[in-house]
């Protein structure tokens, strides 16, 4: 057991730190969506050119060929520097890894480089109005027309759909007794005729995500990822990466939020209140435990090669802790927290309600822990 | 960075688990906890023959292995609810001896402990039950060339069978100033030990009275009046050690409860299929894994003398104190009625969780220390 970074890890950390100091833009407060997207796209391109995008991806596809530890060091430095995320979060966390796992050589050559450079943005079309946690109930249809499919249906909660070039679309090709069979995983060009994207306004007032409507959309069969009818397995790989990558990205985030919360308490003069002290200390301890769980997951992943279901612990812990922290931040500010931008916490407080729903609800994650880690019988 | 035990340490874990399953099963635990002094000399002999009483003690005093090796064994001891003075000796007394003992004291006491011929404890708490420096009131006064102790220590673990007692006393002043440590051999005249009837029968807490106990000058550990910094460091080692024991207990409760949820049927199905039960177990898993991470890090930080060793041990103790109590309580709930019986072992863990919670400071105390570290 050794928590000190190795010489090469230290060198990488110092290099990233210096680079971010010289290059990271200040977190932009822009409310103009187009401007926001353009800035983030340019930022990712800059990161890519410096070799900091796709850190764990193989070199032959434009990645850095590094390990999970490098990714963790990079994530930590990004968060500590308050550097903005690259634009292509969905593509980097899920799209790329799933193409690497299931794509043909041709597909890998076609999609990975522009994904890394943010020349092409990706979105994920899994959830539907009637298929949320139970993905196997999805109804978007793909009709086989020989060399292509015709897709009809609706997807929802789709982050970045309004600017995406590619959509990881899970569709039903055939009805089977087992609803997990007969699904096909397509990479759909969002510029295809028949696709309509409508923004969805959230409880924060922002429109981070969208509905997508597919009306007689033609998708060539070259766009199948994996096997036709074998989409479920590809989807599961996608979600495994989603939670694994997300878990690592979240490991240090809660620490930063906790320290901002402590700063808020000091600024508002609430630090002498015994209950406030206890609460903030508890949040800080849980944030640290979460981070250490992340470090242990990295050590485990280094041995097994992929993030395990334990990654679900990180997402579950972070989402619930983040809600508690934003609640405490609101509480210690009193009514003032609810006025104007509430020192920035008002948005965080509202946004955090989605944390326990997006990328696997807390209920689904507890099922995963119960069934795949503890080996309890499946409830469904 | 590498956040895992070495292959040798995992081998040590396997052999410790095997040994305890064979030599310290539930029947043995119950026999020892119901015995007069809560101590089994034959079991102690076997443990010391395995070298467990030498773990983490420096080689020059007859020790072997590292503190992290001891952590591995303590985790297994906690899993098996090993009764007797193993924790009080290796977890409480040895760290303070290493930090504060004089060369002669270390040669004598650490040597005797490492060889298995002596057991020890730390007498810190008084009737207030607190673990801060301010709470120390037991008086130490110079008398002739030596010292005289007057006062009472309470909740002292395994004091009746301890051959050495490290006594925390107040020689002057208040707070951290004026704390003096003494190494007391055996039970000198005026020192009386009265075992208490306590919740956790696998631990023996005693009242230890000092009525005009006279000690030679060489009983002082380190420098008189100035012992707090070394004692505090010793407590940080001790805290990580206790957390390791607690993590072992948490893991055992989780495994036992998970197994039960797989086999116990109601409404025609194993109860673990119901999400009210399985989600409770998932939450227990989160507490178990997080407590483990916080504890392993604290153990490493203390051992590596990292700048955050104090903070790390407080974070671990705060987290694990709450986690063990919650997991043990939920373990009873998952078991239903059978979990509430004397016959089932679940209550032994529930009680151990509660006694460990208040030992070396509870979660509230350690959260306050964390708040101080955050400059709140």
The DSSP result for B120-169, as a single string, is EEEE---TT---SGGG---EEEEETTEEEEEEEEEEEETTTT-SEEEEEE
Question: In the predicted model, what is the mean pLDDT of residues A142-154?
Answer: 97
In a domain, B53, yes or no: yes
In a domain, B2, yes or no: no
Domain boundary pick from B54, B85, B118: B118
Asked if residue B179 and residue B109 are part of one domain, the reply reads no
Q: What is the pLDDT of residue A252?
A: 82
Q: Is the pLDDT of residue B258 over 80?
A: yes
* CATH number, residue B218: 2.40.110.10
B371 and A277 in contact by Cβ < 8 A? yes
Q: What is the pLDDT of residue A90?
A: 93
B283 touches chain A (CB under 8 A): yes
Asked if residue B297 and residue B241 are part of one domain, the reply reads yes
A285 and B370 in contact by Cβ < 8 A? yes
* CATH number, residue B279: 1.20.140.10
Asked if residue B82 and residue B20 are part of one domain, the reply reads yes
Distance from CA of B290 to the nearest CA of A (A): 5
Q: A116-130, A228-242, B49-63 — which is least confidently predicted?
A: A228-242
DSSP string, B317-333: HHHHHHHHHHHHHHHHH
Nearest CA-CA partner of B323 in B290, B364, B274: B290
Asked if residue B243 and residue B321 are part of one domain, the reply reads yes
| Pairs across A and B, CB distance < 8 A | 157
Q: Where does residue B222 fall: left (phi above 0), alpha (psi -120 to 50 degrees), or beta otherwise?
A: left
B276 touches chain A (CB under 8 A): no
Distance from CA of A120 to the nearest CA of B (A): 35
Q: Is the pLDDT of residue B123 over 90?
A: yes
Confidence band (pLDDT; 50, 70, 90) for A67?
Answer: confident
Q: Where does residue B183 fall: left (phi above 0), alpha (psi -120 to 50 degrees), or beta otherwise?
A: beta
- SS3 at position A375: coil
A315 contacts in chain B (CB < 8 Å): none
A281 in Cβ contact with A254 (< 8 Å): no
- Chain A residue nearest residue B255, CA to CA: A374
Asked if residue B354 and residue B256 are part of one domain, the reply reads yes
A299 contacts in chain B (CB < 8 Å): 1-4
A173 is catalytic: no
In a domain, B369, yes or no: yes
A215 touches chain B (CB under 8 A): no
Asked if residue B87 and residue B143 are part of one domain, the reply reads no
Question: In the predicted model, what is the mean pLDDT of residues B274-283?
Answer: 98
B286 and A316 in contact by Cβ < 8 A? yes
- Strand intervals (E) in chain B: 120-123, 139-143, 146-157, 164-170, 179-185, 191-195, 205-215, 220-221, 265-266, 269-270
Domain boundary pick from B225, B255, B275: B225
Q: From the list A69, A293, A300, which residue is nearest B290 (CB)? A: A293
In a domain, B71, yes or no: yes
Of A120, A128, A242, A310, which is the active-site residue? A242
Asked if residue B130 and residue B174 are part of one domain, the reply reads yes
B152 touches chain A (CB under 8 A): no
Asked if residue B283 and residue B192 are part of one domain, the reply reads no
Q: What is the pLDDT of residue A247?
A: 76
A257 contacts in chain B (CB < 8 Å): none
A254 touches chain B (CB under 8 A): no
A69 contacts in chain B (CB < 8 Å): 1
Q: Where are the alpha helices (DSSP H) in chain A?
A: 7-23, 33-49, 68-80, 89-90, 96-102, 105-117, 231-250, 253-267, 274-304, 311-333, 345-351, 362-368
Q: What is the pLDDT of residue A36?
A: 86
Rounded to whole angstroms, the Cα distance separating A280 from A278 reads 6
Asked if residue B100 and residue B54 are part of one domain, the reply reads yes
A337 touches chain B (CB under 8 A): no
Q: Which domains does chain A have, with CATH numbers?
A: 7-87 (1.10.540.10), 122-230 (2.40.110.10), 251-373 (1.20.140.10)
Q: Which of residues 66-105 of B touch A (CB under 8 A)?
A: 68
Question: In the predicted model, what is the mean pLDDT of residues A95-111?
Answer: 95
Residues 6+ positions from A241 with CB-CB distance below 8 Å: A93, A94, A97, A98, A307
Q: Which of residues 270-299 of A touch B (CB under 8 A)?
A: 271, 276-278, 280-282, 284-286, 288-290, 292-293, 295-296, 298-299
Q: From the list B3, B319, B375, which residue is nearest A1 (CB)? A: B3
A149, two tokens: 């499919």
Asked if residue B247 and residue B170 are part of one domain, the reply reads no
In a domain, B1, yes or no: no
Q: Which of residues 239-258 of B touch A (CB under 8 A)?
A: 258
Provide the 8-state DSSP code for B109.
I
B375 contacts in chain A (CB < 8 Å): 262, 266, 271
B285 contacts in chain A (CB < 8 Å): 313, 369, 373-374
Model confidence pLDDT, tens digit, residues A174-186: 999 999 999 999 9
Confidence band (pLDDT; 50, 70, 90) for A226?
Answer: very high
B376 and A280 in contact by Cβ < 8 A? yes
B242 in Cβ contact with B317 (< 8 Å): yes
Q: What is the pLDDT of residue B287?
A: 98
Q: Based on the structure, what is the number of domains in chain B?
A: 3
Q: Is the pLDDT of residue B257 over 80?
A: yes
B331 touches chain A (CB under 8 A): no
B295 contacts in chain A (CB < 8 Å): none
In a domain, B17, yes or no: yes
Q: What is the mean pLDDT of chain A?
A: 92
- What percent of chain B lies above the pLDDT cut of 90? 99
Q: A39-43, A79-83, A168-172, B178-182 — which is least confidently predicted?
A: A79-83
A1 and B286 in contact by Cβ < 8 A? no
Q: Taking each helix axis as running N to C, give the angle between helix A253-267 and helix A274-304, from 0 to 180 degrees, rounded to the nearest 10.
A: 170
Return the H-helix or E-strand segment holding B43: helix B41-49
Model confidence pLDDT, tens digit, residues B189-229: 999 999 999 999 999 999 999 999 999 999 999 999 999 99
Q: Which of B67, B265, B274, B286 best tests the A interface by mutation, with the highest count of A CBs <10 A? A: B286
Asked if residue B147 and residue B94 are part of one domain, the reply reads no
A354 in Cβ contact with A157 (< 8 Å): no
In a domain, B172, yes or no: yes
Rounded to whole angstroms, the Cα distance separating A142 from B329 reads 51
Residues 6+ positions from A37 with CB-CB distance below 8 Å: A87, A163
* CATH number, residue B92: 1.10.540.10
Question: In the predicted model, what is the mean pLDDT of residues A146-156?
Answer: 97
- Strand A166-172 vs strand A148-159: parallel, antiparallel, or unpaired? unpaired
B319 and A6 in contact by Cβ < 8 A? no
B278 and A285 in contact by Cβ < 8 A? no
Task: Give B39's Cβ-side CA count (13 Å radius).
Answer: 22
Return the H-helix or E-strand segment holding A373: none
Q: Buried (b) or exposed (e) across B111-140, using 16+ Cβ within 10 A?
A: bbbbebebbbbbbbbbeeebbebebbebeb
Q: A74-78, A105-109, A117-121 — which is least confidently predicted?
A: A74-78
Positive or negative, the CA dihedral A71, B1, B90, B256 is positive
B13 contacts in chain A (CB < 8 Å): none
Q: Where does residue A131 fall: left (phi above 0), alpha (psi -120 to 50 degrees), or beta otherwise?
A: beta
Q: What is the pLDDT of residue A122?
A: 97
Rounded to whole angstroms, the Cα distance separating B124 from A353 reads 46
Domain boundary pick from B225, B248, B282: B225
A3 and B370 in contact by Cβ < 8 A? no
Q: What is the pLDDT of residue A293?
A: 93
φ, ψ dihedrals at A62, nearest 5°: 95, 0
End-to-end CA distance of chain A: 40
A371 and B304 in contact by Cβ < 8 A? no
Model confidence pLDDT, tens digit, residues B326-355: 999 999 999 999 999 999 999 999 999 999
- What percent of chain A lies above the pLDDT cut of 70? 97
Global pTM value: 0.95
Distance from CA of B118 to the nearest CA of A (A): 31
Question: In the predicted model, what is the mean pLDDT of residues A152-181?
Answer: 95
Nearest CA-CA partner of B162 in B282, B251, B37, B262: B37
B290 and A286 in contact by Cβ < 8 A? yes
A379 contacts in chain B (CB < 8 Å): 273-275, 278
Q: Is the pLDDT of residue A306 over 80?
A: no
ipTM for the assembly: 0.97
Rounded to whole angstroms, the Cα distance separating A327 from A321 reads 10
B206 in Cβ contact with B194 (< 8 Å): yes
Distance from CA of A92 to the nearest CA of B (A): 25
Rounded to whole angstroms, the Cα distance separating B88 from B122 reads 7
Asked if residue B359 and residue B253 are part of one domain, the reply reads yes
Q: What is the pLDDT of residue A305?
A: 65
Domain assignment of residue B162, given as a range: 122-225
Rounded to whole angstroms, the Cα distance separating A325 from A311 reads 21
- Chain B residue nearest residue A6, CA to CA: B1
Q: What is the pLDDT of residue A240?
A: 81
Question: In the predicted model, what is the mean pLDDT of residues A296-313?
Answer: 76
Confidence band (pLDDT; 50, 70, 90) for A28?
Answer: low
B31 touches chain A (CB under 8 A): no
């Amino acid at each position: 057991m050794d928590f000190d970074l190795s010489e090469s890890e230290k060198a990488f950390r110092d290099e990233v730190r210096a680079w971010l100091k010289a290059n990271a833009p200040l977190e932009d407060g822009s409310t103009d969506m187009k401007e926001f997207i353009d800035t983030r796209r340019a930022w990712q391109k800059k990161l890519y050119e410096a070799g900091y995008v796709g850190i764990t991806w193989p070199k032959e596809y434009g990645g850095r060929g590094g390990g999970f530890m490098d990714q963790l060091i990079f994530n930590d430095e990004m968060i500590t520097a308050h550097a903005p995320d690259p634009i292509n979060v969905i593509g980097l966390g899920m799209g790329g890894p799933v193409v690497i796992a299931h794509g043909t050589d041709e597909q890998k050559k076609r999609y990975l480089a522009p994904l890394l450079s943010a020349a092409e943005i990706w979105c994920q079309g899994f959830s539907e109005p009637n298929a949320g946690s139970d993905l196997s109930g999805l109804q978007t249809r793909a009709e086989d027309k020989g060399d292509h499919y015709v897709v009809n249906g609706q997807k929802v909660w789709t982050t970045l759909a309004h600017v995406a070039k590619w959509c990881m679309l899970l569709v039903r090709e055939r009805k089977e007794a087992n609803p997990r069979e007969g699904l096909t995983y397509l990479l759909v060009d969002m510029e295809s005729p028949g696709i309509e994207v409508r923004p969805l306004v959230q409880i924060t007032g922002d429109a981070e995500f969208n509905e997508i409507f597919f009306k007689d959309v033609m998708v060539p069969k070259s766009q199948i990822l994996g096997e036709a009818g074998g989409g479920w397995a590809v989807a599961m790989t996608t979600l495994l990466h989603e939670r694994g990558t997300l878990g690592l990205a979240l490991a240090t985030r809660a620490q930063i939020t906790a320290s901002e919360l402590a700063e808020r308490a000091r600024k508002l003069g609430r630090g002498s209140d015994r209950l406030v002290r206890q609460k903030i200390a508890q949040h800080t301890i849980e944030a640290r435990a979460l981070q250490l769980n992340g470090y242990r997951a990295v050590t485990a992943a280094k041995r097994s090669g992929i993030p395990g279901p334990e990654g679900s612990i990180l997402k579950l812990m972070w989402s619930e802790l983040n809600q508690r922290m934003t609640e405490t931040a609101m509480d210690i500010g009193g009514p003032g927290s609810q006025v104007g931008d509430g020192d920035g916490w008002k948005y965080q407080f509202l946004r955090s309600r989605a944390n326990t729903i997006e990328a696997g609800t807390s209920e689904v994650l507890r099922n995963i822990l119960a069934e795949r880690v503890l080996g309890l019988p499946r409830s469904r | 960075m590498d956040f895992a035990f070495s292959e040798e340490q995992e081998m040590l874990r396997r052999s410790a688990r095997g040994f305890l399953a064979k030599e310290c099963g539930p029947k043995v635990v119950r026999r020892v906890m119901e015995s007069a002094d809560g101590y089994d000399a034959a079991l102690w002999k076997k443990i010391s023959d395995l070298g467990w009483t030498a773990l983490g003690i420096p080689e020059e005093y007859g020790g072997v292995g590292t503190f992290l090796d001891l952590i591995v064994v303590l985790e297994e001891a906690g899993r098996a609810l090993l009764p007797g003075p193993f924790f009080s000796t290796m977890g409480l007394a040895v760290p303070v001896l290493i930090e504060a003992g004089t060369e002669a004291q270390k040669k004598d006491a650490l040597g005797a402990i490492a060889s298995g011929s002596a057991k020890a404890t730390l007498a810190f708490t008084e009737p207030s039950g607190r673990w801060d420096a301010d709470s120390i009131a037991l008086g130490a006064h110079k008398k002739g060339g030596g010292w005289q102790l007057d006062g009472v220590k309470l909740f002292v673990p395994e004091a009746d069978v301890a051959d050495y007692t490290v006594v925390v006393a107040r020689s002057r002043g208040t707070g951290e100033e004026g704390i003096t440590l003494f190494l007391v051999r055996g039970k000198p005249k005026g020192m009386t030990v009265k075992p208490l009837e306590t919740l956790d029968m696998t631990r023996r807490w005693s009242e230890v009275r000092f009525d005009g106990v006279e000690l030679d000058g060489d009983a002082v550990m380190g420098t008189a009046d100035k012992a707090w910094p070394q004692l505090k460091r010793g407590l940080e080692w001790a805290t990580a050690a206790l957390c390791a024991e607690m993590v072992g207990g948490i893991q055992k409760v989780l495994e036992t409860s998970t197994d039960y949820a797989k086999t116990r049927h109601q409404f025609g199905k194993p109860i673990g299929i119901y999400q009210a039960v399985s989600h409770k177990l998932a939450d227990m898993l989160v507490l178990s894994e997080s407590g483990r991470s916080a504890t392993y890090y604290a153990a490493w930080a203390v051992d590596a003398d990292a700048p955050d060793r104090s903070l790390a041990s407080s974070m671990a103790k705060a987290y694990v104190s709450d986690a063990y109590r919650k997991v043990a309580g939920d373990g009873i709930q998952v078991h239903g009625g059978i979990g509430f019986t004397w016959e089932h072992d679940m209550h032994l863990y529930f009680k151990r969780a509660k006694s460990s919670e208040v030992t070396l400071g509870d979660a509230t105390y350690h959260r306050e220390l964390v708040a101080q570290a955050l400059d709140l």
